[in-house]
Amino acid sequence: MIAETITDADRYPTLTESGRQMLRFLREHPNAPIYRNESGNRLSAADVERVRAFERDVLAATVGWRPGEQPSWIGEFITKCYAEVPFYRRLGGAPPRLVDVPTISRADLGRDIAQFVPDSAPVERLINFRTSGTTGHPLLLASHPVVAASYLAFHKRALRRFGIELQHGRGQVGVVLLGYQRECFTYVSVTPTMNDAGLAKINLHERDWRNADDRAKYLEALAPEVIAGDPISFAELLQIDSRVRPRALLCTSMALSEALRATLERQFGCPVLDLYSLNEAGPVAVFDPDAGGHVLLQHQMLVELLAPDGTPVPAGERGEITLTGGFNFCLPLLRYRTGDYASFGSRSGEPVLMGLAGRPPVRFRTMRGEWINNIEVTHALRRLPLAQFALHQMIDGKVRFRLEQSSGDETAVREALLALFGAGQLLQIERVHDFGEKIVQYTSDLPEATL
């Protein structure tokens, strides 16, 4: 098998001289971390224009529907999916009403993602988004460089709610993405729609740095306009004595506690945006304290709140957040059940997701006494073909791992978990016949497990 050779020209097709200097600055700064990976935007000049035009549309658009209503684009969208997406083509002709479209879940996408990629998606440009599998189904999702770049449009829309217009550009760093994991995908890149402003994805874990003090110095040197992360990496950011002053923090992946948000806002003197974002759909909503819930960000996405039987819940009741539409043209969603729950509220005539139950952050205590993020468990088991699993830590530190009856090699699971938790870890592995539709993958009895 011939190894793939990927060059900077592949990663950054429109790289300018200032972009080149930015990459060098990020990589070669004396306090820089050990970058473990390489990645790039892969945007052609035409792509950059397309993303810019999309940003303008997103910033100008309104959500345009109320709970229980169908936006005008839905009929055409259903017809297109039934014509172009293999999974739907097999179901026959397009039904005229959305309620007659069957719902799907992560399990459906996990069985064979190719069945959900429309005929119009260009195979040669596909990229993947890998999900951590909070609901027990690890996924490899189809996407495109333009889709990845389009996230920024929704971030800008969310930031505008907080009175922030991004100002950075050539020669400045736009965003630093934080991780805090023993193993983390880290790289540097540039954002062509912001005139090759810098982007760095770094891991705050000490093992990625020559000197622990470098973390604060590097962040201060980069002076990013935005820092993105999750509650666990932001909690670590609070621990390092950094004078970095971003204009906003973007928090994704897990539910952000009120206490941590307040601490972060105090420490960094800027708003913390709690984004409800999924690999399957991108940024769906942002928490707005004035609205008392998460306001929607995508104008071509319909949200339904469904009961277990697939019918919409009565007004004001909690239901499963179910998505139709979206901007990932390689993975159009039709009634995709997210496994997350909320009720509908309203703010200035626009729907608001109230009491959103996101994916709870869970930490586990290892034999070394250190706390590890649940994502690290996912990563440690990533190479193992596990269909579904759940991990629970008991009050005495013992770990119980449950996996589906028919999948996975218990010995390999045991080895991976002992490598992560340390030798001597008490570990119980159980086979489960059926997890049911929704499982909570990571749980703990230890009070310090949630931040």
Q: Which residue ranges make up the site for another protein (CB under 8 A)?
A: 4, 6, 10-11, 37-42, 86, 90-93, 95, 97, 99-102, 112-115, 117, 119, 121, 123-124, 126-132, 140, 142-143, 145, 148-149, 151-152, 155, 174-175, 177, 179, 187, 189, 191, 199, 201, 226, 228, 250, 252-253, 275, 277-279, 283, 309-311
Q: How far is the CB of 376 from another protein (least distance, A)?
A: 14
> Cα separation of 438 and 415, whole Å?
27
Contact in structure between 184 and 31 (CB atoms under 8 Å)? no
> Cα separation of 125 and 146, whole Å?
10
Closer CB to another protein, 156 or 400, in the complex:
156
Q: How far is the CB of 354 from another protein (least distance, A)?
A: 21
Instruction: Report CA Rg, the chain.
Output: 22
Q: How far is the CB of 443 from another protein (least distance, A)?
A: 20
Q: Rounded to the nearest 5°, which phi and psi values hold at 47?
A: -60, -45
Closer CB to another protein, 148 or 372, in the complex:
148
Closer CB to another protein, 102 or 385, in the complex:
102
Give one DSSP letter per residue of 6-17, joined into a string: --HHHH-TT--H
Strands 226-229 and 173-179: parallel
Give one DSSP letter per residue of 97-149, joined into a string: SGGGSPPB-HHHHHH-GGGGS-TTS-GGG-EEEEE--TTS--EEEEE-HHHHH
Q: Retrieve residue 41's tokens.
A: 């935007």
Q: How far is the CB of 221 from another protein (least distance, A)?
A: 20
Q: How far is the CB of 134 from another protein (least distance, A)?
A: 9
Closer CB to another protein, 174 or 345, in the complex:
174
Amino acid, single-letter form, for residue 112: D
Alpha helices in 297-439 (DSSP H): 374-380, 410-421
Closer CB to another protein, 281 or 342, in the complex:
281
Closer CB to another protein, 67 or 345, in the complex:
67
Give the containing element (helix H, strand E) for 174.
strand 173-179
Q: How far is the CB of 194 from another protein (least distance, A)?
A: 10
**Total residues belonging to the chain:** 451
Q: How far is the CB of 293 from another protein (least distance, A)?
A: 20
Closer CB to another protein, 187 or 442, in the complex:
187
> Cα separation of 207 and 203, whole Å?
9
Q: Retrieve residue 132's tokens.
A: 């951590």
Q: How far is the CB of 330 from another protein (least distance, A)?
A: 9
Contact in structure between 181 and 376 (CB atoms under 8 Å)? yes
Closer CB to another protein, 42 or 392, in the complex:
42
